[in-house]
Amino acid sequence: MREIRSLGKVVVVGQGYVGLPLAMRAVERGWDVVGFDVDEQRVKRLSEGDSYVEDVRREALTASIRCGRFRATTDALLCAGFDVAVITVPTPLREGNPDLSYIDDASRMLSGHVHSGAAVILESTTYPGTTEELVGPLLEAGSGLAAGKDFWLGYSPERIDPGNTTWTFGTTPKVVSGVTPASTNAIKAFYDTLVDQTVTVSSTGVAELTKLLENTFRHVNIALVNELAMFAAELDIDIWEAIEAASTKPFGFMAFTPGPGVGGHCLPIDPSYLSWRVRRNLGRSFRFVELANDVNEHMPDYVVQRLMVGLNRRQKSVSGSRILLLGLAYKRNTGDARESPAVAVAHRLLTLGADVRAADPYVVEEHIPASVVRVQLCPEEVALANAVVVLTDHDAFDLRLLDDASYVLDTRHCVQSAAVESL
Ligand SMILES: NC(=O)c1ccc[n+]([C@@H]2O[C@H](COP(=O)([O-])OP(=O)(O)OC[C@H]3O[C@@H](n4cnc5c(N)ncnc54)[C@H](O)[C@@H]3O)[C@@H](O)[C@H]2O)c1
């Protein structure tokens, strides 16, 4: 790594899928970075140069540590004296309600280190109002300083797309906002050092809503095409061909494809933050989100139902059948199995008494259901399977091996062979 003068000190609170790539990018652009996390195991791995995030290469991590610009820690005292702190902690749902306890903890920790002229930015996905109503007051109470006047406060949504090599951290435009114009300027100045283009919006509420709009848009459109796929199958019309044909329209159409459901940290969760806020503040239901949740959550059941019908046609039952699942990650070319619909399919098949085997080169052991036998995609496994179900279209799969399969249910429309049935 070439020697460049330090731009200052950045603290990234939360070293996960969002925080670690951000930390690496800041190091690359000349910041001294402290990666703070409460998970000792993660901090230990990072300190040993062991990256658990696909988009962060081991070499980049090791180089950042060696040049003295990056340090992972569980010690909050090392956060002192920051110029910029970015919060990238989880925002899960607990029994359908937003759980902001991680943001709360992170804000309280940072409040002891905020000083005049420092900037604090929230990046965690959350409902509109969180930065001003939760983070600001906590920082002010702990520091005795005024947000937007003494120190800068803002929100900038993360748009990271794991596995995407075209739209990277640096090339994807970043929306930035602050609680005052001075905050916005400071926060924009920080991200201008990290990305090619920043897009300034007028309030943190707009920035928070922007992220939820982007994810709700995807969630709803995926649900639309999933529901259509189920009807098209019954009408005996090829949905994939219709999507391809519709995609030739140069305006007013954007292609979304059916699949076994939605997963990851975003789509199954983020739109519900918005519908929760709408219900809580306006007393109304956000029907599109609720309908999309309903359709997308049903998809693993639908995949199993289609498999049952396919096996039935071959005089077989799911119970006792040997079923090979290809892919357990929710997204191609990643090992992220959080909320993965493929894992939901595996659980349902196990409950029905199937002998379930799964191949996924990326997903780590702990995310694979205990009774699922982990295998490699190879001619023997394909030959012995009563059905192969393609759930994640990883590039690493040699799909030509499926030519000899007796029955393939392809939920991603990526296999071409006689015995294939697409979703
Ligand atoms: N993963 C994505 O693709 C993605 C994309 C856009 C936005 N987001 C949002 O970004 C946020 C973070 O997501 P992620 O995928 O990086 O989560 P993650 O679970 O991969 O990482 C979060 C990290 O924060 C740590 N943490 C929890 N509480 C902490 C605390 N008080 N102090 C310090 N560290 C703490 C956890 O130990 C974990 O390492 C979420 O709000 C998510 O919705 C995620």
Determine the residue of 13, 37, 164 to mutate for testing ligand 1's pocket, defined as the one with the most ligand atoms within 8 A of the Cβ atom.
Answer: 37
- The answer to whether residues 377 and 398 touch, using CB atoms and an 8 Å cutoff, is yes
Q: Which tens digit of pLDDT belongs to each residue from 159-193?
A: 988 778 899 999 999 999 999 999 999 999 999 99
Output the CA 18–ligand 1 centroid distance in Å.
6
Average the pLDDT over each of 32-41, 51-60, 112-121 and give the range with the smallest value: 51-60
**Reported pTM:** 0.92
Model confidence at 418: pLDDT above 80: no
The widest CA-to-CA distance across the chain, in whole angstroms, is: 73
Average pLDDT, the chain: 95
Per-residue confidence band for 3, with pLDDT thresholds at 50, 70 and 90? low
**Minimum-distance ligand 1 atom for the alpha carbon of 162:** 3
| 159: exposed, middle or buried (Cβ count in 10 Å: 0-12, 13-18, 19+) | middle
Model confidence at 41: pLDDT above 90: yes
**What would the mean pLDDT of 312-338 be, rounded to a whole number?**
95
Residue nearest to atom 28 of ligand 1 (CA): 102
As for ligand 1, residues whose beta carbon falls within 6 Å of it are 13-19, 36-39, 42, 88-91, 102, 105-106, 124-125, 158, 160, 162, 265-266
pLDDT at 2: 52
- The answer to whether residues 220 and 286 touch, using CB atoms and an 8 Å cutoff, is no
- The gap from C-alpha 11 to its chain's centroid, in whole angstroms, comes to 22
More confident site: 86 or 3: 86
Residue nearest to atom 41 of ligand 1 (CA): 124
pLDDT at 363: 93
Output the CA 415–ligand 1 centroid distance in Å.
34
**What would the mean pLDDT of 120-134 be, rounded to a whole number?**
97
- The answer to whether residues 72 and 41 touch, using CB atoms and an 8 Å cutoff, is no
**Minimum-distance ligand 1 atom for the alpha carbon of 18:** 16
Phi-psi region of 413 (alpha: psi -120 to 50; beta: other; left: phi over 0): left
Per-residue confidence band for 301, with pLDDT thresholds at 50, 70 and 90? very high
Q: Which tens digit of pLDDT belongs to each residue from 243-274?
A: 999 999 999 999 999 999 999 888 989 999 99
Output the CA 352–ligand 1 centroid distance in Å.
34
**What would the mean pLDDT of 300-321 be, rounded to a whole number?**
97
Residue nearest to atom 7 of ligand 1 (CA): 158
**Minimum-distance ligand 1 atom for the alpha carbon of 106:** 31
Output the CA 89–ligand 1 centroid distance in Å.
4
Between the CA of residue 342 and those of 49, 196, 383, 398, what are the distances in Å?
A: 30, 36, 22, 19
Model confidence at 385: pLDDT above 70: yes
**Minimum-distance ligand 1 atom for the alpha carbon of 161:** 3
Two structure tokens written together for 309: 């019908």
Residue nearest to atom 15 of ligand 1 (CA): 17
Per-residue confidence band for 352, with pLDDT thresholds at 50, 70 and 90? very high
Determine the residue of 18, 41, 51, 110 to mutate for testing ligand 1's pocket, defined as the one with the most ligand atoms within 8 A of the Cβ atom.
Answer: 18
Where in the sequence numbering do the catalytic residues fall? 266
pLDDT at 399: 95
Output the CA 21–ligand 1 centroid distance in Å.
11
Per-residue confidence band for 204, with pLDDT thresholds at 50, 70 and 90? very high
pLDDT at 377: 97
Determine the residue of 22, 105, 155, 265 to mutate for testing ligand 1's pocket, defined as the one with the most ligand atoms within 8 A of the Cβ atom.
Answer: 265
Output the CA 103–ligand 1 centroid distance in Å.
10
Output the CA 102–ligand 1 centroid distance in Å.
9
pLDDT at 162: 77
More confident site: 320 or 162: 320
- The answer to whether residues 336 and 330 touch, using CB atoms and an 8 Å cutoff, is yes
